[in-house]
Amino acid sequence: MIVDEQIACFHCGEICPEEPIYFHEKEFCCHGCQHVYELLEDHALADYYTCDIKPGKAPSSQNFAFLNHPSFREQLICYSAHGFSKVSFILPAIHCRSCLYLLENLHRLDDGISKSILQFGKKEISIWFKEDQISLGTLANLLASLGYEPLLNSDETAKEKKRASFLRNQLVLKLGVAGFCAGNAMLFSFPEYLGIEDGSLKELFGYLNVSLGSIAVFYGGSDYLKNVWAHLKIGKITIELPILLGILVGYFRSVYEVFSHTGVGYIDSVSGLLFFLLIGKWFQQKSFDFLSFERKYTSYFPLVVTKWKDGREESAPLEEIEIAEFFFFLEGAFEDFGIFFEFCEGVLQGLGTDEYFFF
């Protein structure tokens, strides 16, 4: 009885075809996986295969030479000085500790790479390299050849990334301030907890609690204040409104009791509530950053297009393509000029214009 035994690729673990490729007494499903194995072995990185079972990914054939265009360099390069440049890529194929080992040893694969740091949770790698030795396109091709094809997003500009990073840092700072205020407000409320009837001490701690509460509410809770006010101006009510009302009622009631000497208020409870709300917001932001489902319409467009110029093909970013070039391309794609004209008219009506300037 003949048993049809399936052979798994030594590099990526995929099932090999009927006639696998044999190299160094190992089976590979394609020449790409074999090439990656040879590359790692030649640079003393074979320990990659000891970190996990079949850790590799099949290499990509995508060519990233278009990244050498100046416009893409301006978008991707985060820092450049003294011959060194820093670039960050999103690598969706990252999945195990073997990836961490390999990607943080990229400098052993090419002398033009100085160092690389991988943020495993974000699946993002930051690479410092010498542009006079290895270009940006060649660097991306190296990652793709190892099975880690970079994810390039046209709407993820450096300005947007910087703003998102600023908002994350602000949220963490507000979380820290709210936690500090909540902890100290509870500490200053101990005389009330323990039933200490020292009037001067109780009054002093009351004033300190009001100060801490003011910082927690008007700085830590500033996002709630801004969001509720913005929605009220357009006549909308969100779930943040009752939350904010509860915080403000507790705060102003506490201020009244402390300054009228009728009680100690609820500053510790209000600060603690804000602290836990901000923790929830921080976890929500982490989840959104990981999933990142939000896309603009430009996300569905290609990053680069190939056009004819002076009788030869030339790659150019989509932003540099003029409307006239686009419509003349469509004109060549339609055999009947009447059909082409009707198509252009429909497009222009959708755009809200009737100017046929490209004719």
Among 180, 231, 233, 167, which Cα is nearest to 208's? 180
Half-sphere exposure of 334 toward its Cβ, with a 13 Å CA cutoff?
15
| Residue 354: per-residue pLDDT | 47
| Residue 356: per-residue pLDDT | 44
Cα distance between residue 133 and residue 121, in whole Å: 30
| Residue 262: per-residue pLDDT | 83
Give per-residue pLDDT as tens, 347-358.
555 555 444 444
CB 86 within 8 A of CB 131: no
Cα distance between residue 263 and residue 191, in whole Å: 12
Cα distance between residue 95 and residue 26, in whole Å: 23
Strand positions, DSSP E, the chain: 21-23, 26-28, 77-81, 84-90, 113-119, 124-130, 304-309, 312-317
pLDDT tens over the chain, length 359 residues: 343 467 777 767 677 777 777 777 777 776 567 767 777 777 777 677 666 555 656 666 677 777 777 777 777 788 788 788 888 888 887 776 767 777 888 888 888 888 888 887 778 888 898 888 888 888 888 888 887 888 776 545 556 666 777 888 899 999 999 999 999 988 888 777 777 666 677 788 888 899 999 999 999 988 889 888 888 888 888 888 999 999 999 999 999 988 888 888 888 889 999 999 999 989 888 877 666 555 555 555 556 666 666 666 666 666 566 655 555 555 554 555 555 556 556 655 555 544 444 44
Cα–Cα distances (Å) from 170 to 122, 187, 252, 289, 316, in that order, read 19, 26, 26, 15, 38
Counting every residue written for the chain, the total comes to: 359
Burial label, 358 (beta-carbon count in 10 A; 0-12, 13-18, 19+): middle
Burial label, 168 (beta-carbon count in 10 A; 0-12, 13-18, 19+): middle
Q: Give, in degrees to the nearest 5, the angle at Cα 203 between 201 and 207.
A: 115
Query: Which residue is it, tokens 């590099």?
Result: 11
| Residue 355: per-residue pLDDT | 46
Give per-residue pLDDT as tens, 77-89.
887 887 888 888 8
Using a cut of 0.75, tell me whether the model's pTM lies above it.
no
Q: Give, in degrees to the nearest 5, the angle at Cα 105 between 123 and 129.
A: 85
| Residue 173: per-residue pLDDT | 93
| Residue 122: per-residue pLDDT | 77
Cα distance between residue 342 and residue 278, in whole Å: 55
Give per-residue pLDDT as tens, 141-161.
888 888 788 877 654 555 666
| Residue 104: per-residue pLDDT | 83
| Residue 227: per-residue pLDDT | 87
Q: Give, in degrees to the nearest 5, the angle at Cα 46 between 102 and 140.
A: 35
Residue 26 DSSP one-character state = E
Mind giving me the DSSP string for 101-134?
A: HHHTTGGGT-TTEEEEEEETTTTEEEEEEETTTS
Burial label, 235 (beta-carbon count in 10 A; 0-12, 13-18, 19+): exposed
Burial label, 321 (beta-carbon count in 10 A; 0-12, 13-18, 19+): middle
b/e per residue, 20-33, with b = 16+ CB within 10 A?
bbebeeebbbbebb
Cα distance between residue 300 and residue 285, in whole Å: 24
Residues 6+ apart with CB under 8 A from 177: 215, 216, 219, 220
CATH architecture of 65-158: 2-Layer Sandwich (3.30)
